[in-house]
């Protein structure tokens, strides 16, 4: 086949792959970073966990991770990160595939917590990055947890006068 005939086909394939594969590629790349950051955040609190499995929400800088966590470890994490109880009637940032949309955390039999402040110092990460907020769901029977987090957008300041999380 002539190379000139293959150019349009190659261009079409490249554009198709880029459009369809962008979300997949983003999730593949970003979820590994999220797993590393969540694992490091937990380790700073004295909790060494393995098997952290994460997923991103679309192409946003937010995602959720599931990992093993006992009730005692949950209490320690809640205290160290200064989380507060998430009331069942509170508005939360919901995403398809988020913690409250994932078994077994989608039932009423979970312990649920959230950050009390926007971008608290306890959520600082490597290289000066930070999480804006976290939600923590712990399922006592399965001894597992789901942590939903959102990264601070690049270039954002470390404090925000109008917190979307204050109630």
Q: Average pLDDT for residues 2-10, to the nearest whole number? A: 61
Are residues 138 and 110 in contact, defined by beta-carbon separation less than 8 angstroms?
Answer: yes
Whole-model pTM above 0.85? Answer: no
> What tens digit of pLDDT does each residue of 81-90 get?
999 998 877 7
Give me the residues paired with residue 149 across strands. 63, 134
Q: How does 3-35 read in b/e, with b if 16+ C-beta sit within 10 Å?
A: eeeeeeeeeeeeeeeeeeeeeeeebeebbebbb
- Strand, coil or helix: what is 66? strand
Q: What percent of the chain has pLDDT over 70?
A: 71
Give me the residues paired with residue 132 across strands. none
CA angle 130, 75, 85 (to 5 degrees): 70
Are residues 118 and 164 in contact, defined by beta-carbon separation less than 8 angstroms?
Answer: yes
What are the residue boundaries of the structural domains of the chain, listed by start?
3-151
> What tens digit of pLDDT does each residue of 25-69 get?
666 667 888 999 999 999 999 999 999 999 888 767 889 999 999
Give, in order, the Cα–Cα distances in Å from 99 to each of 91, 93, 107, 135, 159: 14, 10, 10, 8, 26
Confidence of residue 79 (pLDDT cuts 50, 70, 90): very high
> What tens digit of pLDDT does each residue of 126-161 get?
778 889 989 999 988 899 999 999 887 665 554 444
- Strand, coil or helix: what is 13? helix
Q: What percent of the chain has pLDDT over 90?
A: 32
pLDDT of residue 27: 64
pLDDT of residue 165: 46
């Amino acid at each position: 086949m002539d190379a000139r005939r293959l150019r349009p086909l190659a261009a079409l394939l490249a554009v198709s792959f880029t459009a369809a594969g962008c979300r997949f590629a983003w999730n593949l790349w970003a979820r590994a970073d999220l797993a590393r950051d969540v694992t490091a955040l937990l380790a700073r609190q004295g909790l060494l966990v393995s098997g952290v499995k994460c997923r991103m929400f679309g192409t946003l800088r937010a995602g959720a991770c599931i990992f093993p966590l006992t009730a005692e470890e949950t209490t320690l994490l809640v205290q160290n990160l200064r989380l507060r109880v998430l009331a069942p009637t509170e508005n939360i940032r919901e995403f398809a595939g988020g913690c409250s949309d994932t078994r077994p955390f989608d039932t009423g039999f979970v312990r649920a917590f959230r950050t009390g402040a926007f971008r608290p110092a306890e959520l600082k990460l490597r290289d000066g990055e930070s999480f804006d907020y976290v939600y923590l769901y712990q399922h006592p029977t399965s001894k597992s947890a789901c942590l939903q987090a959102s990264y601070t957008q690049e270039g954002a300041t470390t404090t925000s006068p109008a917190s979307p999380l204050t109630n």
